């Protein structure tokens, strides 16, 4: 067994021929395949080096065999100037230009996790794994089957413990979120009023059931009423779409009305973010976030928004608490 590093000044080709097992980085083998190694004398005749020299190649951390790493084999033509190890393997395999009596080495990849390649759904994750197997010419994925008890001594399986928390017994938290949702409804009603009085008939809302509005990813093409569930992902979708597209593209009778509608949606967005914080942190931290957001816009608020924010901020302050059922459960 012989280990070779990039900093070693040795004739790598001769070392490979003389040793049974070579431990090295894939890049050193790539370099051999790309360039002739200088001989000891100018008269030395060198034969072309190829992967049939090996009978077995073992890749550690084989999940790196993607994109343009030295491991990788299937890459786009844009990277032809930077060939990589497994491309040489596939080139020999597909071209059938193996020398008589020679055959390609067996490839074994080792990894603790194949990963999903940044995939966000099952189909893309599966494609990532299939692509990785294709790169390594792999027909089978194997896991440890023997001596698992000994393995777990060094790599134990950690089981997630799920503990549910209940806010129903915390009256302050219940009053806080109820007051927050009431404030959200108040701003929504003002938004509906602005629309009913100030937009042109061609842009009036299309009716939608409450069940449809509560769906996480409803496609909005015109103004719609807000979902009933103020803590849902569907509510954030409604606010975001109306704030970034529906309202800016709507024709109002007065520009000042559009400005106020955008203001209300921005406040509703802050209120929704506060409900998100409420679910993970104390009501005190949630209110602190909301007050900071409102402080940045307080000087430009319309009279309606300023009046009702002052009224409800006092109510919310009376219900704030530094206690968090989630944190309390974690500390136990």
State the pLDDT at residue 291: 96
pLDDT per residue as tens digits for the range 291-330:
999 999 999 999 999 999 999 999 999 998 888 777 777 7
In this structure, what DSSP letter does residue 323 have? -
What is the structure's pLDDT at 71?
A: 59
Lowest mean pLDDT among 67-71, 274-278, 328-332: 67-71
In 3D space, the residue among 8, 4, 34, 30 whose CA is nearest the CA of residue 17 turns out to be: 4
pLDDT confidence band for 13 (50 / 70 / 90): confident
User: d(Cα 310, Cα 321) in Å, to the nearest integer?
Assistant: 19
Q: How confident is the model at residue 168, as a pLDDT?
A: 64
| CA distance readout (Å), 92 to 35, 37, 66, 85 | 17, 21, 19, 11
Per residue in 166-217, pLDDT (tens digit) is: 766 778 888 999 999 999 999 999 999 998 888 755 554 444 445 555 566 6
Domain boundaries, the chain: 2-154, 171-331
> Considering the domain 2-154, what is its CATH architecture?
3-Layer(aba) Sandwich (3.40)
Which stretch of 144-153, 213-222, 230-239 has the lowest confidence by average pLDDT?
213-222
Would you state the pLDDT for residue 155?
Answer: 77
Cβ–Cβ < 8 Å for 284, 323? no
**Three-state DSSP class for residue 36:** coil
Mean pLDDT along residues 15-22: 88
- Percent of the chain past pLDDT 90, that is, above it, reads 31
Token pair in block for residue 88:
């040489």
- Per-residue pLDDT band for 128 (boundaries 50, 70, 90) equals confident
User: What does the pLDDT look like over 207-219, one tens digit per residue?
Assistant: 444 555 556 667 8
């Amino acid at each position: 067994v012989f280990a070779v590093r990039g900093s070693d000044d040795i004739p790598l080709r001769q070392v490979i021929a003389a040793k049974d097992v070579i431990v090295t980085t894939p890049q050193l083998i790539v370099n051999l395949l790309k360039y002739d190694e200088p001989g000891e004398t100018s008269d030395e005749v060198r034969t072309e080096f190829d992967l049939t020299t090996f009978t077995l190649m073992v890749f550690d951390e084989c999940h790196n065999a993607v994109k343009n790493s030295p491991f990788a084999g299937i890459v786009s033509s844009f990277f032809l100037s930077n060939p990589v190890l497994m491309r040489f393997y596939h080139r020999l395999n597909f071209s059938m230009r193996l020398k008589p009596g020679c055959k390609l080495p067996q490839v074994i990849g080792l990894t603790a996790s194949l990963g999903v390649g940044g995939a966000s759904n099952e189909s893309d994750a599966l494609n990532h794994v299939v692509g990785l197997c294709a790169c390594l010419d792999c027909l089978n994925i194997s896991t440890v089957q023997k001596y698992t008890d000994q393995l777990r001594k060094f790599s134990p399986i950690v089981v997630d413990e799920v503990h549910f928390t209940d806010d129903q017994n915390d009256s302050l938290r219940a009053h806080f979120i109820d007051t927050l949702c009431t404030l959200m409804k108040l701003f929504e009603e003002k938004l509906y009023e602005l629309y009913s009085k100030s937009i042109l008939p061609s842009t009036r809302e299309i009716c939608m059931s409450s069940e449809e509005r509560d769906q996480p990813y409803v496609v909005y093409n015109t103004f719609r009423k807000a979902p009933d569930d103020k803590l849902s992902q569907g509510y954030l979708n409604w606010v975001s779409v109306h704030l970034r597209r529906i309202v800016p593209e709507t024709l109002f009778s007065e520009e000042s009305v559009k400005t106020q509608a955008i203001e209300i949606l921005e406040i509703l967005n802050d209120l929704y973010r506060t409900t998100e914080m409420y679910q993970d942190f104390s009501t005190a931290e949630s209110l602190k976030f909301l007050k900071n957001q409102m402080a940045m816009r307080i000087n430009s608020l319309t009279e309606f928004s300023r009046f009702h924010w002052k009224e409800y901020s006092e109510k919310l302050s009376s219900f704030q608490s530094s206690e968090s059922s989630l944190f309390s459960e974690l500390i136990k």
